[in-house]
C-alpha cells in the first residue's frame, strides 16, 4: 500500500524510449501494471498519441522529476506535474552525479521536505543508505525507492547485502527497487527479498520484443512476491540430505 492506495500489481512501469505509441500501449497492458511513471519532458514531447495512452491505460500516473539537478528545479517540476496530471503523487529525483545519475542526498532530503509540507505524496529515488532513508522519512516521505544499480545500466541488485539491511531496518516502510533492473530474474530476486514493488523502464522499452518482456516482468514480480510470502528456505553452509538415514536398508 502506497499512501493509502492499495494496488494489485507490484510492478511499476516507465513510459520512455518505446519504439512506438502502440508498443507502449501493448506493453502496459501485458505487464499488468497499475502505476506508470511519466516525465514532464516525455509528456511534452509525446503529443496527443502519448496523452491518449495515459488517459486510456487505466493506470495511476506517477509523474517524476527526471533530469532535475537542484532543489529548485525539482520542486518547480513537481508543482507543474501536480497541475498537469491532477495528482499529489510525485517520484522525486534530484541527480547529483552526471555519470552514475546517483541522487544528491542533501538536495533530495531538502526537496522532499518542501514537497511533503506542500501536500505532495513523495516517492524519493535514493540509494540504500540508511541515514538518508531516515532523513527522508523525517521529512515526511512514507515510501522509499532505493536504486538497484545506476539508471539504465541493467546491472540488477548491485549491493545485495546493503539492500537486505535496508529492508530489515525499514521493516514497516514500503520499499520499491527503482533503477538498474535489467532482467526478470533480477526483479524476482528483489521481490524474494521482501521489497514491496519494482519500478523499471529501459529493460522493457529497449527489449527486442517490449510487449513480451513486459509480460515476463509482470510474471516475475508476481512469482517473487509469492515465494517471499510462502517463506524461502534458509541458506546453509553445508549440504543437508533430504532423505533420512533412518529406515535405510542395512547391507552386511
Q: Report the pLDDT value the prediction gives residue 189, as an integer from 0 to 100.
A: 97
Query: pLDDT tens for residues 205-233?
Result: 999 999 999 999 999 999 999 999 999 98
201 is in an annotated binding site: yes
What is the average pLDDT score of the chain? 92
* CB atoms closer than 10 angstroms to residue 56: 11
pTM for this entry: 0.90
Q: Per mean pLDDT, which range of 38-52, 66-80, 165-179, 203-217 is the poorest? A: 38-52
Which residues are marked as active site?
91
H or E segment and range at residue 158: none
Query: pLDDT tens for residues 102-156?
Result: 999 999 999 999 999 999 999 999 999 999 999 999 999 999 999 999 999 999 9
DSSP 81-121: HHHHH--SEEEE--B--TTT--B-HHHHHHHHHHHHHTT-E
Query: pLDDT tens for residues 156-209?
Result: 999 999 999 999 999 999 999 999 999 999 999 999 999 999 999 999 999 999
154 is in an annotated binding site: no
Q: Report the pLDDT value the prediction gives residue 53, as an integer from 0 to 100.
A: 86
* CB atoms closer than 10 angstroms to residue 66: 22
CA distance 25 to 29: 7
179 is in an annotated binding site: yes
* CA triple 21-145-102, angle to 5 deg: 85
Largest CA distance in the chain: 84
Q: Please classify residue 170 by burial: count the beta carbons closer than 10 Å to its beta carbon, then call 0-12 exposed, 13-18 middle and 19+ buried.
A: middle
Helix/strand/coil for 227: helix
| The C-alpha cell that represents 138 in the structure block | 523525517
CA distance 183 to 108: 28
List strands edge to edge, sheet with 145-146: 145-146, 121-126, 89-92, 60-64, 35-39, 11-14, 197-200, 176-178
Amino acid at each position: 500500500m502506497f499512501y493509502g492506495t492499495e494496488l494489485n500489481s507490484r510492478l511499476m512501469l516507465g513510459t520512455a524510449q518505446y519504439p512506438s505509441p502502440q508498443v507502449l500501449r501493448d506493453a502496459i497492458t501485458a505487464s499488468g501494471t497499475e502505476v506508470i511513471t511519466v516525465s514532464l519532458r516525455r509528456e511534452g514531447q509525446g503529443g496527443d498519441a502519448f496523452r491518449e495512452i495515459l488517459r486510456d491505460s487505466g493506470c495511476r500516473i506517477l509523474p517524476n522529476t527526471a533530469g532535475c539537478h537542484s532543489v529548485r528545479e525539482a520542486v518547480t517540476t513537481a508543482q507543474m506535474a501536480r497541475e498537469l496530471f491532477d495528482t499529489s503523487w510525485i517520484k522525486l529525483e534530484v541527480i547529483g552525479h552526471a555519470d552514475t545519475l546517483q541522487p544528491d542526498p542533501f538536495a533530495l532530503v531538502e526537496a522532499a521536505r518542501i514537497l511533503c509540507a506542500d501536500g505532495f505524496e513523495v516517492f524519493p529515488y535514493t540509494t540504500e543508505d540508511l541515514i538518508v532513508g531516515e532523513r527522508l522519512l523525517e521529512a515526511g516521505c512514507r515510501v522509499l525507492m532505493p536504486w538497484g544499480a545506476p539508471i539504465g545500466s541493467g546491472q540488477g541488485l548491485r549491493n545485495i547485502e546493503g539492500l537486505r539491511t535496508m529492508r530489515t531496518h525499514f521493516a514497516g516502510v514500503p520499499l520499491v527497487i527503482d533503477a538498474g533492473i535489467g532482467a526478470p530474474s533480477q526483479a524476482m530476486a528483489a521481490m524474494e527479498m521482501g521489497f514491496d514493488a519494482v519500478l523499471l523502464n529501459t529493460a522493457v522499452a529497449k527489449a527486442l520484443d517490449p510487449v513480451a518482456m513486459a509480460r515476463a516482468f509482470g510474471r516475475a514480480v508476481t512469482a517473487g512476491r509469492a515465494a517471499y510470502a510462502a517463506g524461502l528456505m534458509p541458506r546453509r553452509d553445508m549440504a543437508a540430505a533430504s532423505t533420512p538415514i533412518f529406515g535405510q536398508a542395512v547391507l552386511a
